[in-house]
Amino acid sequence: METTLRGVGVSHGVAIGEVRHMGTAVLEPPAKQIPAEEAEREQGRARQAVEAVAADLIARGNLAGGEAQHVLEAQAMMAQDPELMADVERRIAVGSTAERGVYDAFAAYRALLANAGEYLAGRVADLDDVRNRIVARLLGVPMPGVPDSDEPYVLIARDLAPADTALLDPALVLGFVTEEGGPTSHSAILARALGVPAVVALPGAGELAEGTVIAVDGSTGEIFVEPNAEKRAEMESAAAARKAALSASSGPGATSDGHKVPLLANVGGPGDVPAAVEAGAEGVGLFRTEFLFLDDSKRAPSEEKQVAAYRAVLEAFPEGRVVVRVLDAGADKPLDFLTPADEPNPALGVRGLRSLLDHPDVLRTQLTALAKAAQGLPVHLEVMAPMVADRADAKAFADACREAGLRAKFGAMVEIPSAALRARSILREVEFLSLGTNDLAQYTFAADRQVGAVSRLQDPWQPALLDLVALSAEAARAEGRSCGVCGEAASDPLLACVLTGLGVTSLSMGAASIPYVRATLAKYTLAQCERAAAAARAADSAEEARVAAQGVLSGE
C-alpha cells in the first residue's frame, strides 16, 4: 500500500528505486589497558592513522573538486587538530590503546560542542566521520560507507558525511534520503552540486526496509513508499517535462515579459568554473575565497598564490560580473592565525569581517592580490565583505579597499538582521548588497543551519526572512543600488520568482540549479512574481508561504 512521507527537499529531481542503507558506524573499540612500554608505539600508530585519514580526505577532495574539495579539506584539518592529537596521546600515555584513545578524545570534544549550545553541531557529523575513519584504520576493518551494488538505488542514511557525498556516483545513486541535516547542511549543498535528488530531515527514514521501492521528489520533499503504477507514471512524466523545459531554456535570466534577472554562479575556486560556464552563468555572484586559506591553518597564502587563483576565475568571465567575497573565517571555518580559539559561541564571535579588521595585514594582502589579478582584464570585479553589521563595518571595509588601490565596486553581505534593518545606512558607504540567506536565517531565528531539529526555521520560505529580503531590496532601490541573493534560497526555482518579486536584482546559485531557475523565471511576468511575493509575505509559515506563491503563479 502506498504511503507518503515528507522531509525537506534540498536538491531538485525525481528518483525511483530500491532502498539501500548506508553501512553502520564503526563499533566502539574495547577499553583495555596497555603496558607503559607500549605507549610510544601506540602513539605512533595513532599519528600514522591520523595522517593517513587526512591524506585520504584531501585526495577525495582533489578528485571531487569544487565545493566538495573545500569541505573535505576542512575535515582533514579537523583530523589533524593539534589539541585533539595531544589529548589522544595523553590518553595513550595513561594506558589506552591507540583506537580507544582516539575514540575517547573525539567523544570528549563532541560533548564540548554539545555543551556549547550546539552552535557547532553542524560539525558533529563531520567529527564523527573523521573519528570513524581513524578508528577503522587502526582496527584494520573497512570503513562503513556507500553500499556496493551493481544496480541503481536510492541511498538511505542517518546523515551523509561529506567524504561519502562528494564521491557518490550519480549513475548508481539515483537519489538519497537522510534522517538528519537541513537545507544548508554539507550533504544538501553537495547533493545540489552533483545534481542528485535529495530529501533530508526525514524522521524514521532508517526504518524503510532494504529493497523497498520508493519515489523521491527532491523539490517537494515528498517520499512515496511502494508507489503504484499511476504515481510512478505521474512523477516520471513531470520529470520528463521538467527536463524538456530545461533543454529549451537558454540565454540570460529574465521573466516572460523581459525583466532581466542575471543568473550567476556560486564558486569555491577555479575548479568550479567549467560547470558554471557550461550552465550559462552570466558571471559569478559569490566567489568563496576560503579554499586558498584552508591549505595551511597556520599562515595566510602568499600574495602571489592568491593572484594566480583569482585571475584563473576572472579570466573565465570576460566582460562578465565576478563578485568576490573576502575571507570568511571563524565559526565552522577556524584558522589558527586569524580566529580566537576559546570563544564560547564562535558563530556569534569574531568571524568574517570582524576577524579581518583585527588582522588588517591579511585583508590588505587579499585586496592587493585581487587588484593585481584584475589588471588588464575587462571583467567587472566587485568585492564584498561578509558579516557586515552596520555602517561602521561597511565604511571600514570600503576604506580598506581604497587604501589597497582596488578598482572595483565595494559591497556588503546582508547576513545579520541589523544589516537588513539598516540597509540604507550601509549603502551610504558601499555600492551593492548581497543577501546570504543561509546565515541570515540562522541569525534571524537563532537556529543553527546544520541542526536538523530546527530545519523548519532554516527554511528560506519563512515569511520573516522574506520580510528582511524585501527591506534590503527596497533600500537598494531607494539608493539606486543593486541587491542580489547568493544564498541557497536562490537555487529554488519557485522561490527565485518570489525573490524577483521582492525586488532582488540578481540571483546566484550552484551551477546545477541555473537551468531550473532560468526555465521557471521565463514562465512568469514580473507582475506575477510580485503578486506571488506579496502572497508569500502575507503567510504565517514557510509551508503556507510556499503554497500561497504556488497558487498565485499557477493561477489558482
Q: Which candidate in 12, 70, 483, 486 is catalytic?
A: 486
Can you list the positions of beta strands (E) in 329-442? 380-385, 409-414, 432-435
pTM of the entire structure?
A: 0.70
Cα angle: 343, vertex 345, 348; to 5 degrees: 110
Listed range (119-123, 236-240, 415-419, 445-449) with the worst mean pLDDT = 119-123
Mean pLDDT for the chain overall: 87
pLDDT band at 137 (very low <50, low <70, confident <90, very high): confident
Q: Verify whether residue 483 is a known catalytic residue.
A: no
Contact predicate 541/463, CB 8 Å? yes
Q: Cell numbers for 246, please give them.
A: 530545461
Conformation bin of residue 20: beta by default, left when phi > 0, alpha when psi is -120 to 50: beta
> In the sheet that 8-11 helps form, which strands lie side by side, from edge to edge?
3-6, 222-225, 213-217, 14-21, 153-157, 173-178, 198-200, 8-11
Residue of 12, 70, 186, 359 with catalytic role = 186
**Can you give 89-115 as a three-state secondary structure string?**
HHHHHCCCCHHHHHHHHHHHHHHHHHH
pLDDT at 466 exceeding the cut of 70:
yes
Region 63-69: mean pLDDT is 69
Whether the per-residue pLDDT at 118 is higher than 50: the answer is no
Instruction: Give yes or no: 486 in active site.
Output: yes
pLDDT digits (tens, 9 = 90+) for 407-421: 999 999 999 999 999
Q: Is the pLDDT of residue 119 over 50?
A: no
Residue 482 phi, psi dihedral angles, 5° rounding = -95, 155
Whether the per-residue pLDDT at 90 is higher than 70: the answer is yes
The closest of 186, 205, 27 to 121, measured between CA atoms, is 186
Q: How confident is the model at residue 2 (pLDDT cuts 50, 70, 90)?
A: low
367 and 327 in contact (C-beta within 8 Å)? no
351-399 tens-digit pLDDT: 899 999 999 999 999 999 999 999 999 989 999 999 999 999 999 999 9
Binned at pLDDT 50, 70 and 90, residue 59 comes out as confident
Residue 235 has pLDDT above 80, yes or no: yes
pLDDT at 373: 95
Residue of higher predicted confidence among 480 and 347: 480
Query: Is the pLDDT score of 117 beyond 50?
Result: no
What is the rounded distance in angstroms from the CA atom of residue 456 to the CA atom of residue 546? 13
pLDDT at 120: 47
Q: Per-residue pLDDT averaged across 37-47, rounded?
A: 93
pLDDT digits 0-9 by tens, 177-213: 998 877 766 677 778 777 789 999 898 888 898 899 9
Which range, of 108-117, 433-442, 543-552, averages the lowest pLDDT? 108-117
Q: Which residue has the higher pLDDT, 329 or 245?
A: 329
Q: What is the DSSP annotation of 458-478?
A: G-TT-HHHHHHHHHHHHHHHH
Least confident stretch, 62-76, 88-102, 210-224: 62-76
Is the pLDDT higher at 402 or at 58?
A: 402
Section 330-358 average pLDDT: 79
pLDDT at 380: 94
Task: Pick the closest to residue 143 from 129, 156, 157 (CA basis).
Answer: 129
Instruction: Say yes or no to pLDDT of 134 above 80.
Output: yes
Please determine, for residue 497, whether its predicted confidence score (pLDDT) is greater than 50: yes
